[in-house]
Amino acid sequence: MADTLEIQSDITLSTPKERGVDEIFMEIESSLAPRLFGVERIEATASFLDELEDSDRDQLRQLFDSLLDKMMEHNASDIDLGGQGSLGQIWFRVHNNKSPVMELGAYSLDQFNILNLNILTHRQIEYLIENRNLDFSYSIDYKTENVRFRGDMYFDLDYLALNMRRINNSIFSFKHLGFHNNIARALSLKYEKQGLILVTGITGSGKSTTLDSIIDANNQSVEAHIVIIASPIECVHLSNRCIIRHREVGRDVHGFKAGAVQALRQDPDIIMIGEMRDAETIMTALEITDSGHKVFSTLHTGSAVESIDRIVAECPTEEQERIRNRLADVLKIVISQKLVPTVDGKRILAKEVLLVNASVKAAIKNNNTQEIYQMISEGNAEGMNTMEQDLRGLVVARKISAEEAINYANNKNRIKELLEYSN
């Protein structure tokens, strides 16, 4: 036994040499049959990834994370990679301009597939293949902070494309949003216990930033329970005076409607529904608001009037009259916003604000939404303003140019009239 132990002690165990990323790429690419296209090629790529050693998958993840590191160094808001449209390049959006970053090298379509699939779980891959799209969250450690990203993976001519947007960990100060006191009170649970508040705008218009500021203001001012349902969860709020629950669609709950219905049994005061994407979610949001809760949500619309019309139009024809009446009763505020380029090359918030008063409520019920724009323009004393009035104010303050004001206005004729008047 002693001799055996002595012999074993002389043995030097060698560890396998760690492979480089190029070698891993080559192995998987050479294993993919040329006849495989679309979903079948994605499924085969995922299967080959499953067979890799953990060290190989770590190498791929480190490469992917290094691209996000570069994104942070460039102060980019978005990164795009993969799919036919990328032309083999990594693209960054910096100060609203999106362009390829040639210094990061070129990749094949299969290499992009490998990088993209490697950061997903088995369940996420199944969802992606079934729905051809996946929203998810991702995080890296960058210098001394943990940085989170909102990811959207989708198919682009049979190959996987990915957009990831950096989530700002710092919450924008509510007071810097510049709301009239009447609007600020209506947004606060302290003064208004129920009602539907909508923040609308196109993708990238800062809707999430505004909602996070409103949630944070409530978290600092009132004792309550806030349930956030989002796809994915972006800003994670630390419970302060409120207990805040975060439920990510696909990870913590199956969908927005399910999350909203379930929230009713969780003793909430505020329910934030990340997006009212379909008729079912819209009708659920109206019902839970009608039951006495304060509900925040978003729509991809450009103005307050368009938001009201969209909600009604999304619902079945036979339900529209009932939805119109219910919406008139529960809707409190619509904030429609855009991020406009400034004269110094940055971006600034421009917003339209509708406060639902008796006149607006009657217009919604009577299907006279075309009258609401005028009501907003004449409602400055109550805290309302049109997008054109806000843009004019930014021009007068010399924060944006008159040309940009016209470009971003919903009503081109009206903004021109306002600008001529200000001159």
pLDDT in tens, 141-197: 998 888 999 999 999 999 999 999 998 777 889 999 999 999 999 999 999 999 999
Q: Specify whether 196 is located in the same domain as 344.
A: yes
Residue 143 has what pLDDT?
A: 87
Residue 145 has what pLDDT?
A: 86
At residue 70 the predicted structure's pLDDT band, cuts being 50, 70 and 90, is: very high
At residue 413 the predicted structure's pLDDT band, cuts being 50, 70 and 90, is: very high
Q: Specify whether 224 is located in the same domain as 89.
A: no
Cα–Cα distance, 197 to 218 (Å, whole number)? 14
* pLDDT (mean) for 254-279: 92
Query: Cα angle vertex 339, ends 187, 242, to 5°?
Result: 30
DSSP 238-267: PPSSEEEEEEEBTTTBS-HHHHHHHHGGG-
Q: Specify whether 247 is located in the same domain as 133.
A: no
396, part of any domain: no
At residue 423 the predicted structure's pLDDT band, cuts being 50, 70 and 90, is: low
Q: Specify whether 37 is located in the same domain as 156.
A: yes
Q: Specify whether 156 is located in the same domain as 234.
A: no
393, part of any domain: no
The count of structural domains within the chain is 2
DSSP state of 18: P
Cα–Cα distance, 218 to 75 (Å, whole number)? 30
186 in Cβ contact with 198 (< 8 Å): no
Q: Specify whether 200 is located in the same domain as 227.
A: yes
Residue type, 145: E
Give per-residue pLDDT as tens, 92-109.
999 878 999 999 999 999
- Of 102, 132, 167, the residue at which a domain comes to its end is 167
Q: Specify whether 51 is located in the same domain as 80.
A: yes
Q: Specify whether 321 is located in the same domain as 362.
A: yes
| Contacts made by residues 15-24, CB under 8 angstroms, sequence distance 24+ | 18/55, 18/59, 19/55, 19/56, 19/59, 20/59, 21/59, 21/60, 21/63, 24/52, 24/56, 24/59, 24/60, 24/114
10, part of any domain: no
46 in Cβ contact with 125 (< 8 Å): yes
82, part of any domain: yes
Q: Which domain holds residue 32?
A: 21-167
* pLDDT (mean) for 113-132: 95
- Of 105, 135, 167, the residue at which a domain comes to its end is 167
Q: For 196-200, 232-236, 270-274, which range has the lowest pLDDT when averaged over its residues?
A: 232-236
Cα–Cα distance, 160 to 155 (Å, whole number)? 5
Q: For 2-16, 38-52, 97-111, 202-216, which range has the lowest pLDDT when averaged over its residues?
A: 2-16
- Of 136, 167, 198, the residue at which a domain comes to its end is 167
Q: Specify whether 206 is located in the same domain as 158.
A: no
Residue 4 has what pLDDT?
A: 37
305, part of any domain: yes
Q: What CATH number does residue 97 fall under?
A: 3.30.450.90
> Cα separations (Å) of 257 from 123, 229, 254, 320?
21, 9, 8, 19
Give per-residue pLDDT as tens, 277-312.
889 999 999 999 998 999 999 999 999 999 999 999
* pLDDT (mean) for 212-228: 97
The three-state secondary structure class of 160 is: strand
Q: Specify whether 196 is located in the same domain as 251.
A: yes
> Cα separations (Å) of 358 from 83, 292, 309, 320, 336?
51, 19, 18, 20, 20
366, part of any domain: yes
Sign for the CA dihedral angle at 4, 7, 9, 14 comes to negative
Query: Cα angle vertex 51, ends 50, 56, to 5°?
Result: 90
Q: Specify whether 315 is located in the same domain as 269.
A: yes
Q: Does position 22 have pLDDT exceeding 70, yes or no?
A: yes
Residue 422 has what pLDDT?
A: 66
Cα–Cα distance, 177 to 207 (Å, whole number)? 12
Cα–Cα distance, 52 to 57 (Å, whole number)? 7
Reported in sequence order, the residue ranges of 249-330 that DSSP labels E, i.e. its strands, are: 270-273, 294-299
Q: Specify whether 248 is located in the same domain as 373.
A: yes
74, part of any domain: yes
This prediction has a pTM of: 0.79
Give per-residue pLDDT as tens, 308-360.
999 999 999 999 999 999 999 999 999 999 999 999 988 999 999 999 999 99
28, part of any domain: yes
The three-state secondary structure class of 216 is: helix
Residue 395: half-sphere exposure toward Cβ, Cα within 13 Å: 23
Q: What CATH number does residue 286 fall under?
A: 3.40.50.300
